[in-house]
Amino acid sequence: MLLFAAMPRAPTTDPRFAEIESHRGYLVRYALSQLRDEQLAEEAVQEALLAALEGIGKFDGRSTLRTWLTSILRFKVIDIQRRLVSERANVAIDDERLVEDHEAWLDEMFDETGHWRSPPQAWNDPEAALEQRRFWQAFEMCLAGLPATASRVFFKREVLGEDTPVICRDEGITSSNCWVILHRARIALRMCLERSWFGSQAAHDR
Amino acid sequence: MIAEDEDLNCRKASGLLSLACERPLDANELRALKVHLDECLMCTNFEEQLRFLHRCAEVFRTG
């Protein structure tokens, strides 16, 4: 494996190394969902796996190996996202354009009286979905289906729990536009989950 | 900004529900939202789904 070639000093007799490598596919999909770029995703995963090999002695087994690897990968993904943000420092988001786009998008979501065109339905036992692996596949697919900025901002705000001012600063956007992006991301995510998981046909298929 | 006696439609109510994830709503916003949610099952569903998305993110983070 390339990974082991990159770590010539690693004691590859440890059986956990093979197990680490076995999670590569999942980790690449995860990184792709966040970075939308195969090369960057591979870069993040490679760095995460190397960090995991170096730090495997610290893995105490209190979480699953996949959870531990994912937590390492998240930090690598964030590092890359920060790098991308700093690299595009001169490509500021056009605030006025964003608001116009958002209003036009809302026009598609709501009719002229402001009512939902596709009303949110009650979801049957959503808590139970959290226990199902296929639900998380659907969740990741929905997250990946968001526009890149929306996916990134939602991930930082909701998954990482970063404060909005920090996100605004890092993304170079105003707080009102941060809210616009998050609002749109939430509506789009709920629509996607309703379509792919909670909808009656999807539920019937399960 | 929400006026003192303003009635919300779903478009505005959903925006306030999302905004409430970012900052505390003021008195007018809370009043208007409560009035709307008391009558609108669709927005009540949306409110519950926002909570669920937050829960998903929490579980996603902690594994």
Q: For residue A43, how many other CB atoms are within 10 A of its CB?
A: 17
φ, ψ dihedrals at A110, nearest 5°:
-125, 145
- Residues B2-48: pLDDT tens digits? 777 778 999 999 999 999 998 999 999 999 999 999 999 999 999 99
Domains contained in chain A, CATH given: 2-87 (1.10.1740), 95-205 (1.10.10.10)
Q: Report the gap between the CA of A161 and the closest CA in chain B (Å).
A: 9
Question: CA nearest A70: which of A40, A133, A28, A124?
Answer: A28
**pLDDT tens profile A131-181:** 888 898 888 888 878 888 888 888 888 887 889 998 888 888 888 889 999
Residues on chain B bordering chain A, Cβ-to-Cβ distance under 8 angstroms: 9-12, 14-15, 18-19, 21-22, 41-43, 45-46, 48-50, 52-57, 59-61, 63
Cα dihedral sign for B15, B21, B25, B31? positive
Q: Which of the four pLDDT bands, split at 50, 70 and 90, describes residue A8?
A: very low
CB contact under 8 A, A120 and B45: yes
Provide ipTM, 2 decimals: 0.91
Residue B60 C-alpha, separation from nearest chain A C-alpha, in angstroms = 7
User: Is the separation of the CB atoms in A121 and B45 below 8 Å?
Assistant: yes
Q: At A117, is the pLDDT very low, low, confident or very high (cuts 50, 70, 90)? A: very high
Residue A46's SS3 state is helix
- Let me know how long chain B is: 63
**Over the stretch A57-98, which tens digit does the pLDDT of each residue have?**
878 777 788 888 988 998 888 888 777 766 654 455 566 677
Contact A106 B52 (CB under 8 A): no
Nearest Cβ partner of B46 from A66, A120, A178? A120
Sort out which chain B residues have CB atoms less than 8 A from A178's CB and list them.
Answer: 22
Task: Please give the C-alpha separations between residue A112 and each of A93, A116, A168, A188, in angstroms, as whole numbers.
Answer: 28, 10, 31, 20
- pTM score: 0.70
Q: How far is it, in rounded angstroms, from Cα A30 to Cα A73? A: 9
Contact A63 B54 (CB under 8 A): no
| C-beta atoms of A110 and B11 within 8 A | yes
**Nearest-CA residue of chain A relative to B42?**
A120
Residues of B in contact with A189 (CB under 8 A): 53
